[in-house]
Homo-oligomer: A and B are copies of this chain.
Amino acid sequence: MSLVVVGSVGVDTITTPFGRAEAVPGGSAVYFSLASSLFTEVRLVANVGNDFPEEPWSCLRERGVDLEGLQRFSDRPTFRWSGSYEGDMSEARTDLCELNVLVEPFAIPPAYTGTPYVFLANTDPRSQLAALETLGGEPFVFADTMNFWLTDEHRPALLALLNRIDGLICNDQEIRELTAERNLIAAARAALSLGPQMVVVKKGEHGSLLITADGEFGLPAFPTTTVVDPTGAGDSFAGGFLGSLAASPDRSPDAVRLALAYGTVTASVTVESFSIDGLAAADRELLEDRLAVFRNFTRF
């Protein structure tokens, strides 16, 4: 079934212990679409300026991604982010962040109305709610968020969003901050009481956690030895996860678990190259091969 992603398109400059990539394609909607389009039909909603390379769009077009929701601004630059990673690369340091076209409202095409699966990438929860409103219907909605929206100023909007979505995906520090619970399992359970039926906690090199009313499920990360650039790992993970889930009508606990494993292997492809290079070159066969390796990695 089709899946719409509402997120960002960005021009990134990334420095890691393995090198530097200047003015490369990035943004949550780009990573998410490249990942989820390996599984299902994807529709993209994002704003882009006058300085984004054409290349990723041809790649996405070849994957069948619907770009009608891509709003182009010819008079302003794209969202720009510069970040660097050090040591175990578990956290990015933001060196520069220019919102540019990111502050403009999204332009959601009427043809997207009633799309059965929706992913709201991290942004102002008010924009996430507005997008959901415009999309209409009764979609299955997953949303990402981050620390910035957990302050007193933004929290009411975030809580309103949580009340409207089926699944929340965020990282371990964010779920702790959202719920004021130290223990991760307890924090994820507490987040369930805020609205969503599913909570996915991303833990980077330590894997992920899924909590639903049915119980808990935990996975380590894919055992890759070549983490070159973690940028986009979380959105690739979400794309593999929700793409897999949207690909079939099965939303049973087993299907959700398998989707999380697909998210894991998809993210592993992203982190092994700078920017979207790994993901753009990936195909479904690569993911199936990695899934087999991952099954063996976790089997006991």
Contacts and interface: CB of A to CB of B under 8 A. Distances in A.
The 3 closest A-B CB pairs, nearest first, are: A218-B220, A206-B206, A257-B300
B184 A205 contact: yes
Interface stretch (A26-34, A53-61, A105-113, A209-217): A209-217
B182 A87 contact: yes
Interface stretch (A7-15, A120-128, A142-150, A223-231): A223-231
A297 B182 contact: no
A17 interface: yes
A248 interface: no
A179 B170 CA distance: 32
A92 interface: no
Contacts of A225: 183, 185-186, 189
A203 interface: yes
Interface in A244-276: 254, 257-258, 260-261
B176 A88 contact: yes
Number of copies of this kind of chain in the complex: 2
B298 A298 contact: yes
Interface of A: 17, 87-89, 176, 182-186, 189, 203, 205-207, 209, 215-221, 223-227, 254, 257-258, 260-261, 295-300
Nearest to A254: B300
Contact of A300 (B183, B224, B258): B258
Contacts of A254: 300
A297 B220 contact: no
Contacts of A203: 206
Contacts of A295: 300
A251 to B, nearest CB: 15
A183 B204 CA distance: 12
A134 to B, nearest CB: 35
Given A207-B207, A218-B298, 14 more contacts: A17-B182, A88-B176, A88-B182, A183-B224, A183-B227, A185-B225, A203-B206, A209-B223, A215-B296, A216-B297, A219-B298, A220-B220, A295-B300, A298-B300
A261 B218 CA distance: 13
Contact of A223 (B207, B218, B226, B300): B218
